[in-house]
Every structure is written in C-alpha cells, then in structure tokens.
Amino acid sequence: MRLIAILLLLALSCPVAALAQLALLTPSDDIISQEAPVVITLHLGLFDPRGRQALEVAKAKRFGVQHLGEETNLLGALKPVQEKNATTWLAEFPVKSPGDYTFYAEQTPRWDTAEEEFLIPLAKVCVNALALEEGWDEPVGLEAEIVPLSRPYGLWSGNLFSGQVLLNGDPAPYAAIEVAWFGPSPETSATLSAAPPACRVQKLRADANGIFHYAMPRGGWWGFAASLDADWTIKKDGEEKPVTLVTSYWVQAREIK
C-alpha cells in the first residue's frame, strides 16, 4: 500500500502540459437504426480545444474499422476538404450488417517546437448498427488507445463515461486524461467564448489500472484524450527526439427532451 501511495504521489506531482491538439474522428451518426446498407460520413481532423478551431493536418498514416473481430483498411477512402483555414478529411463508409463498428485513425508525427518533441495523434469512435451491441469494448491494437468500459453510444447528457487507457496493450497507470467538448457536429459551430481557458479542457487522472470516469454535462461530441510517452524516438536534425502519443476517444451525448 505504501508503494502504491508513493507511485500515485509521483504521478500527481508530474506537470501535465496543456492539451494543444487532439485527433478528431466523428461519424455523421453513431447509431444506425434503419435497414442496411446505410452510408455514413466520417470526419477526420485535428482539433485545438482551447482555441476552438480545426488545425491543418496531413492524410492519416492509418485509418480503418474493426467490426465483429474483422479489420478493414479505409485509408484509400479519405478525401481532403478545406474547412475554414485548415484541411480536414472525409470518408464515406457503407454500413452493411449489424454490430459495432469501431473506427480508428493514426496521424503522421507532428513536431512540437515548444516541447521539443514529436506528437502522434490517434483516435477512435464507435458506431452501432441495428441494435447488435457487440464489439464496442474490444481494443483495436493501436500503440496507445482508450477502451470504453461504458457503452460509447446511446448516451444522455449527464451520463458517466468510463474508459481504460492502454499502452502497448497494457493498462497505463495514473495516465493524465484531458476532456474537451467539441459541439454538436463539425458542421455546427460551437463556442465557449465566455468560459475561462482552464474550463475549456477538463483534467483528471486515471487510477492504477488506467481507468477513468467523467460525467458529461451537456449534449454534443466529447473527446477524451490521454498523453503517453512512447518508448522510442524519432531523429530530427541528427538528434533523437522523444515521442508523445496523444490518443483520444469520441462519444456523443444527447440532450433529454
């Protein structure tokens, strides 16, 4: 018990950098109730939660979907779209059969001048089709990922979302978690201009098993992000530089009417 307390104290004493960007991955709908096939549109990008804006992002390094244990590479479906001052990406996907579809993306490394490190944004989101709730709690094998412990769709505002942070398939103890509200959809602008900057990104810690909980106070898309140190480096200007994996999970909460 003393050792656990010491580890927790060390984890909480480590400074957590402000979340500057997280990978955005949202579908046109997260629940498909009509008979298949139904074509959904997936929006991929990079989101700055403090500035409330999209950031320029290159084509993803990896993009796919996992459905009932089978994986499909969707990288070829991505098409660039100009969104205000940034390039984002769209992909259409035909949902043909029941079950949970977990979409995932890995962006190319981005150099962070302020921290002198590389950032690799990763993201996941789940779409349910025809009420077959199977597969939403399965990892997809990203180097760093958040696995939901509560069903990640059919959520009301005020519901508690629970997840577990994994690094190389193992729980990431005391991982730093940051939470950002995106808004109703990529097409509907949402601002938090009246809120202080500290309110725009919520912060918490996972427990010793990498598990965290957060109650979403309003409807819209919510991004949960964990920043984890990779055990490898990338060379820049002849020097090996550290790599931080910023992995996010997106869920939609609906207002009760």
Element (H, E) at 3: helix 2-13
The predicted pLDDT at position 120 comes to 97
Q: Give me the residue spans of the domains in the chain.
A: 2-254
Helices (H), 83-139: none
**Cα-only R_g, the chain:** 18
The predicted pLDDT at position 257 comes to 79
Residues contacting 245, CB < 8 A, separation 6+: 120, 122, 143, 144, 167, 227, 228, 229, 230
The predicted pLDDT at position 20 comes to 62
Q: How far is CA 160 from CA 19, 217, 247, in A?
A: 22, 9, 20
Q: What is the pLDDT along the chain (257 residues), one digit of tens a residue?
A: 443 443 343 344 344 444 568 899 999 999 999 876 899 999 999 988 866 667 789 999 999 999 999 999 999 999 999 877 788 999 999 999 999 999 999 999 999 998 999 999 999 999 999 999 999 999 999 999 999 999 999 999 999 999 999 999 999 999 999 999 988 875 555 556 667 777 888 999 999 999 999 999 999 999 999 999 999 999 999 999 999 999 999 999 999 87
Contact 97, 81 (CB under 8 A): no
CA terminus-to-terminus distance, the chain: 47
Contact 47, 21 (CB under 8 A): yes
pTM above 0.75, yes or no: yes
Element (H, E) at 227: strand 220-236
The predicted pLDDT at position 47 comes to 86
The predicted pLDDT at position 194 comes to 62
